[in-house]
Chains A and B, each alone.
Chain A
Amino acid sequence: MLVLLIAHLAAALVAPTLVRRLGLRAFYLLALVPASGLGWAVSRTAAMRDGGAVTEVYPWAGQVGAELALRMTSLSWLMVLLVGGVGALALVYCARYFTAGEPGLARFAGVFVGFAGAMLGLVVSDNLIVLYVFWELTTVFSYLLIGHDPASRASRLAALQALIVTTVGGLAMLVGIIMLGEHAGSYQWSVVQDALPTGGYLVAAVILLLLGAMSKSAIFPFSFWLPAAMAAPTPVSAYLHAAAMVKAGVFLLGLLGPALAGAAPWRPLVLAGGLVTMVLGGWTALRQHDLKLLLAYGTVSQLGLLAVALGAGFRDAALAGAMMLLAHAMFKAALFFVVGIIDHSAGTRDLRELSGLRRSLPSVWLVAVLAALSMAGVPPLAGFVGKEAIFDAFRGGGWWKWAVLAGVVAGSALTVAYTLRFLWGAFSDKHGVAPRTVHNVSWPFLTPPALLAVAGLLAGLSSPALNDLLAGYADTYSGAADYHLAVWHGFTPALALSILALGAGAAIFAMTARTTRWRRLRLPFTGADGYERTTGLLGRAAVEVTGATQRGSLPVYLGTILVMLVLLGGGALLAGPPLVGGFRLWDDPLQLIPAAALTVAAVFAVRARRRLAAVVLVGVTGYATAMLFVLHGAPDLALTQLLVETCTMVMFVLVLRRLPGHFAVRPLVSSRPLRVAIGLAVGAVVSGLAYAATTGRQAVAISTAFGEPAVSFGGGSNIVNVILVDIRAWDTMGEISVLVVAAIGVASLVSGGSRRLLRGGRRTPLPTPPRGEVWLMAGHTLDAGLRSPILEVITRLVFHTIVLFSVYLLFAGHNAPGGGFAGGLAVGLALVLRYLAGGRHELNVAAPVDAGVVMGTGLFIALGTGLAALVAGGEFLQSTLLDWHLPVLGHVHFVTSTIFDVGVYLVVIGVVLNILRSLGAEIDRHDRTERAEPARREEELV
């Protein structure tokens, strides 16, 4: 069985390619896959006698109690026959139904085969969780099949409706499955059915399971999705109505019935739902003008009958239901195929426009009559055998059986009536309607329905043989096993009822054909109304909730988050245990000076109206923070903070020169006190949390033990640097990668995606410098008014010194404050100086390389160090101490992690260079082009 499932999956995957290669012929090839399922089931026929079973178990998701337990019993054998047989015929039919150029055909083929596979898996799975998985797979595939034409609104809505209705039912069913499975301690149905719960628990589980089965099988009040689903292509409708999808629901009823039919809610729900569906479906079918829609309501009606028979919960009804299941699959698929042929040949499915088809399409007419007679229940066809068995099963024994019998006979009469309407509508000569001109039907197109119709005849004639096979299922019910399927039982009450149904049906058809007044008779409400009201309400609720919470304003969102921080954090502080541990005012009285400066600058930064002033004031807080770092005993931090703060200020200034000097006067002024209040509250809460966290600390810091290993293993006495390049080198690796990403982002945001920026440098030719001595090579490229001789001189004097100093920082960093970050930032600042003094051309002279190359080299070196350690047999980024005696330099002590730091150094230089090129040089260029030609600005951006 698993092989079959895998074959379906594989075929579904290759189907699109096959269809693209071979065109419509690929469908013949694909039909072999479901056909193999049919063949396999036929070959196992012998095992099905006397309630035998074929079982396979494979381990799968054991954590959720789902193992791939496959089990074919009599009922699932019947379903495998139908799924495989009708599936294969539908695929053969597809080859003629579609034209080669049909859009989405490749996808359709794959989905169809997948659908067949999911249905096969559903009927053979013994594990309820696995069954549910296949159940939902059929839902998803049917969604794709019904929505085959995505351009059609009706098709999209029908697909969505089918998906929602069956998924809601499916979820209810899943809950029911879990309730039963958890109680039994297993999800294997063959185990679960012997370990059922009792009382209200069982009632709830049964109701939930029935919701799933009834929604899938379009039982009232869920009937509405199935007729809408006929928006699908006809082969899909045939398969969906006859063997797959809706049959899953009645199959589930049949599967669960032997164990659960005795539960309190089962019979009332199934029988009432089934009967109402049967009568209403038949009545509505009589009103239809579209042949396909007529058949669709016919299916609804028949599903009601099947639910009654398979869900009644005793042996004879189950036997009759299984026979009816078989008969229905054959005649309904055949009739759908016939409608497809008529649609193709005559160009319409509207029975008011069809006339004279009996004479022009005699072979189709013959097939249709044979199938339709089975539907109406005329001997000796399969439909008759099934229906008579049902009549007989409900004859006698309690008032409810009589009531069901009356309903079933009435429903059957309606079935006869709409069958006649179908034949009359499709094939008869009508007054005042010109006979349709039709083109002929090729035999491959007609073969699938013809085969099915003949199979219906054969199944009826050979019903005694079928009896032995289907009884294997029916006998799982206790009770007398006296009824046998046969065409002829003699003159029995059931035969009389059959004749009564036929006669009444003919009378109803004759009456409805004459007048239209009866059509006003209908239910005051339908399931579709309920569906629309529910989805409408959901939509309204979604809009209201979204409208109330998604205000679209960033400050409101941030404010909400921050207020929550205040409430939760502050609440935790107040509700938590009292704070332990004391405080000291400061560690060093000198800390007061930067702290005071920081506070003042922060207050003024918030109040500043000018952009530049705000930037400078925030810069002051940054420098004050650096001072606090120094006074806390963190020279590395202070150094990096100073360099970064300077870099940040330069970046701000570079961007802000293009923005208006003052902040806009906004309509937000009124909310200013609120914003300040939130700010103060957050500040107070965070201070409180900081106090609580630091005073509450019990453990000794892990880093107190870092000192000795830093020297002996890391080879450096600056512990912070050893942490960065050795102990936590992975973090640093990640960090420099993030930096590179951010730098690339900056470049693309400013340049609008052009690649010119990153490769900057060499491409732009430098204007020829004037003769004589110059301080800076490109100084003359700036306007005379922008040049500053003093800055040029200073730049010339200090640039190389800074670069040299940065190299010192880099290599000394392992033992003294410094390191790759600080060194790289120092070089960056030197470049900033060159740019400020001499403009973008000067920057290109100073750094005649692509920023991308520098960053890439840096990343490469850093990564290479790590990989080299890996190659040498160590761990990624592990460092090694090397000691050499060189002739001139003497003793050289070297740690491999220094090379890693060189990588960091290069990455930082590349990042700063990139930022300078983007925020500096590129914005210069925008500025210049805009001044020269304002209209071109838009082009520049695109």
Chain B
Amino acid sequence: MSTNLLLVIVVGVLFAAGVTLLLERSLTRVILGITMLGNGVNVLILLGGAYGGPPIVGVTPEPGMSDPLTQAMILTAIVITLGMTAFLLAMAYRSWLLTGHDDVQDDVEDRRIMERAERDQGLEDQDSPPVTAAGPDNSDQAGQR
């Protein structure tokens, strides 16, 4: 099957721009990136279906119709993207309310573990080192003192 090179390029452009924005720290940019990625995926799915006239019986003769199945899938995806964008925006807003900015923060717990690794500490240092609850030595030392 031959393919529409222009749409292939459009997919690439939307993915490239979307990914670049996705890798940013600002949640606003991340959400914009996701929106563009969503559009890119939609065009990608569109490419999977045949080109043609509107898939409406009576308007287009059946051999010349575009593929309706991919379109139904994309339609679902478009509306879901709307819901997801709204949700992410609400998250960005809340992040702004709580922290005063909308940047994605580093995971605090991960940072702590990294610092631990840099100091060459093990897990056991989190509290005091493990002891055998009552080793043979405990009573012995007590006895000699």
List residues of chain B with CB within 8 A of the CB of A406.
Answer: none
A122: shortest Cβ distance to chain B, in Å?
Answer: 25
Residue A404 is within 8 A (CB to CB) of chain B in the complex: no
Q: Which of A676, A724, A918 contacts B90 (CB 8 A)?
A: A918
Residue of A nearest to B30 (CB): A554
A598-B13, A625-B42, A637-B71 in contact; A750/B118 too (CB < 8 A)? no
Q: Is the pair B11, A941 in contact by a Cβ cutoff of 8 Å?
A: no
Known contacts being A693-B48, A697-B1, is A228 close to B121, with CB within 8 Å?
no
Question: Which one of B21, B107, B132 contacts A606 once the chains associate, using CB atoms below 8 Å?
Answer: B21
Complex CA gap A257/B48 in Å reads: 67
A680 to B20, CA, bound (A): 8
A706 to B7, CA, bound (A): 25
The residues of A that contact B87 with a CB separation of less than 8 Å are 742, 745-746, 749
Within 8 A of A (CB), among B29-52: 29, 32, 35-36, 39-40, 42-44, 46-52
**A636 touching B40 by the CB < 8 A rule?**
no
Q: Which residues of A contact B84 (CB under 8 A)?
A: 742
Residue of A nearest to B16 (CB): A683
Q: Return the chain B residue nearest A598 by Cβ.
A: B10
Inter-chain contacts of B49 with A (CB < 8 A): 701, 703
B66 — which chain A residues lie within 8 A by C-beta?
632-634
Q: Which residues of the other chain, A, contact B55 by a CB distance below 8 angstroms?
A: 633-634, 703, 707, 718-720
**A347 proximal to B (CB < 8 A):** no
Q: Are A695's CB and B83's CB within 8 A?
A: no
Q: Which of A553, A718, A719 has the most CB of B within 10 A?
A: A719
Measured between C-beta atoms, what is the minimum distance from B28 to chain A in Å?
6
Q: CB-CB < 8 A to B82: which residues of A?
A: 644, 647-648, 739
A923 at the interface (CB under 8 A from B): yes
Chain B minimum-CB-distance residue to A601: B17
Task: Tell me the bound Cα distance from A542 to B120 in angstroms.
Answer: 11
Q: B14, B109, B133, B135: which has the most chain A beta carbons within 10 Å?
A: B133
Cα(A583)–Cα(B2), bound, Å: 4
The verdict on A293 contacting chain B, using a C-beta distance below 8 Å, is: yes
Tell me the chain B residues, 84-116 only, with Cβ under 8 Å from chain A: 84-87, 89-94, 96-98, 101-104, 106-111, 113-114, 116
Closest to A552 in B: B110
Q: Is the CB of B134 within 8 A of A738?
A: no
Hey, which chain B residues are within 8 Å of A641, CB to CB?
Answer: 78
* CA of A482 to CA of B93, assembled, Å: 88
Q: A618-B36, A633-B66, A636-B71 are in contact. Are A584 and B4 (CB under 8 A)?
A: yes
The interface residues of chain A lying within 8 Å CB-to-CB of B131 are 154, 157
- Measured CB to CB, the nearest residue on chain B to A734 is B76
Q: Which of A540, A595, A941 contacts B122 (CB 8 A)?
A: A540
- B23, A675: Cβ atoms closer than 8 Å: yes
Alpha-carbon distance A602/B33, docked complex (angstroms): 10
Tell me whether B80 and A738 are in contact (CB under 8 A): yes
- Bitwise interface map of A from 681 to 696 toward B, beta carbon under 8 Å scored 1, else 0: 0111011001101111
**A residues near B116, Cβ cutoff 8 Å:** 543, 547
A683 in contact with B21 (CB, 8 Å): no
Q: Are A735 and B20 in contact (CB under 8 A)?
A: no
Q: Which residues of A contact B21 (CB under 8 A)?
A: 605-606
Shortest CB distance A658–B (Å): 7
A587 within 8 Å of B by Cβ? yes
Q: Collect the chain B residues with CB atoms within 8 Å of residue A635's CB.
A: 54
Given contacts A628-B10, A633-B51, A742-B84, contact A723 B90 (CB under 8 A): no
- Give A134 Cβ to nearest chain B Cβ, in Å: 26
CA distance in complex: A583, B135 (Å): 77
**Nearest Cβ on chain A to B26's Cβ, whole angstroms:** 5
Complex interface bits, A633-651 against B, C-beta within 8 A gives 1, otherwise 0: 1111100110010011001
User: Is the CB of A23 closer than 8 A to any CB of chain B?
Assistant: no
Asked if B139 and A287 sit within 8 Å, CB to CB, the answer is: yes
Q: What is the size category of the interface that chain B forms with chain A?
A: 35 or more
B116–chain A nearest beta-carbon distance, Å: 5
Contact flag A598-B28 (CB < 8 Å), given A682-B19, A717-B56: no
Which among B56, B59, B71, B93 is the interface contact of A658 at CB below 8 angstroms?
B93
Instruction: Report how many A-B pairs have Cβ atoms within 8 Å.
Output: 411
The answer to whether B12 touches A686, judged by C-beta atoms less than 8 angstroms apart, is yes
Docked Cα-Cα span, A522 to B137, in Å, equals 10
- Pair A707/B65 contact, Cβ less than 8 Å: yes
Q: Assess whether B122 is in contact with A703, with CB atoms less than 8 Å apart.
A: no
A2 within 8 Å of B (CB atoms): no
In the complex, A690→B13 CA distance in Å?
13
| Chain B contacts for A658, CB-based, 8 A | 93, 96
Q: Which of B15, B25, B85 contacts A686 (CB 8 A)?
A: B15
Residues of B within 8 A of A704 (CB): 62, 65, 67
Mark the stretch among A45-53, A389-397, A472-480, A813-821 that contacts chain B.
A813-821
Partner of B114, one of A157, A550, A640, A666: A550
A664/B26 contact (C-beta < 8 A), A682-B15, A703-B68, A743-B83 known: yes
Of B3, B70, B91, B104, the residue contacting A691 (CB under 8 A) is B3
Residues in chain A near residue B40, CB distance under 8 A:
686
A710 part of interface (Cβ distance < 8 Å): yes
Chain A CB count within 10 A is highest, among B74, B106, B111, B130, for B130
Interface code A289-300, partner B: CB below 8 Å = 1, 0 otherwise?
Answer: 110010001000
Tell me the A533-570 residues at the B interface (CB within 8 Å).
Answer: 535-537, 539-540, 542-544, 546-548, 550-555, 558-559, 562
Residues of B within 8 A of A696 (CB): 1
A451 to B5, CA, bound (A): 91
Instruction: Find B28's partner among A161, A546, A625, A656 (CB 8 Å cutoff).
Output: A656
Q: Give the nearest-CB partner of B62 in chain A.
A: A707
Which of B12, B79, B108 has its CB near the most chain A CB atoms (within 10 A)? B79
Residue A519 lies at the interface, judged by CB distance under 8 Å to chain B: yes
By the criterion CB–CB under 8 Å, are A750 and B94 in contact?
A: yes
On chain B, the residues within 8 Å of A679 by CB distance are 15-20, 23
B78 touches A637 (CB 8 A): yes
With known contacts A632-B46, A683-B19, A742-B86, A668–B25 Cβ distance under 8 A: yes
CB neighbours of A554 from chain B (8 A): 25, 104, 106
- The answer to whether A603 has its CB under 8 Å from any CB of chain B is yes
**Pairwise interchain contact A290-B134, C-beta atoms closer than 8 A:** yes
Q: Return chain A residues, CB-CB under 8 Å to B20.
A: 606, 675-676, 678-680
* Contact present for B139 and A293 (CB under 8 Å): yes
Is the pair A724, B46 in contact by a Cβ cutoff of 8 Å? no
Point out the residues of chain A lying under 8 angstroms from B101, CB to CB: 664
In the bound complex, residues from chain B placing their C-beta under 8 Å from that of A738 are: 80, 83
CA of A52 to CA of B12, assembled, Å: 78
Q: Are A552 and B111 in contact (CB under 8 A)?
A: yes
Q: Does A876 contact B (CB under 8 A)?
A: no
Q: Does A622 contact B (CB under 8 A)?
A: yes
Chain B contacts for A615, CB-based, 8 A: 32
* Residues of A contacting B78 in the complex (Cβ-Cβ under 8 angstroms): 637, 640-641, 644
> Nearest-CB distance from A250 to chain B (Å)?
22
Tell me whether A746 and B96 are in contact (CB under 8 A). no
What residue of chain A has the Cβ atom nearest to residue B47's Cβ?
A694
Given contacts A519-B143, A634-B46, 17 further A-B contacts (CB under 8 A): A227-B135, A230-B134, A539-B122, A558-B23, A583-B8, A599-B13, A644-B81, A652-B28, A659-B28, A659-B93, A663-B29, A666-B26, A678-B23, A701-B69, A717-B57, A750-B94, A752-B94
Closest 9 CB pairs of A and B: A547-B117, A683-B16, A552-B110, A539-B123, A679-B20, A687-B12, A633-B66, A742-B83, A717-B57
**Could you give 27 example pairs across A and B, Cβ below 8 Å?**
A287-B143, A289-B142, A526-B136, A535-B124, A542-B123, A552-B110, A586-B7, A602-B17, A614-B28, A628-B10, A637-B71, A637-B74, A637-B75, A644-B81, A651-B86, A679-B23, A682-B15, A687-B9, A691-B5, A719-B65, A720-B68, A720-B71, A735-B80, A742-B84, A746-B86, A749-B91, A750-B90
Interface residues of B (CB under 8 A from A): 1-26, 28-29, 32, 35-36, 39-40, 42-44, 46-60, 62, 65-72, 74-76, 78-87, 89-94, 96-98, 101-104, 106-111, 113-114, 116-118, 120-124, 130-136, 139-140, 142-144
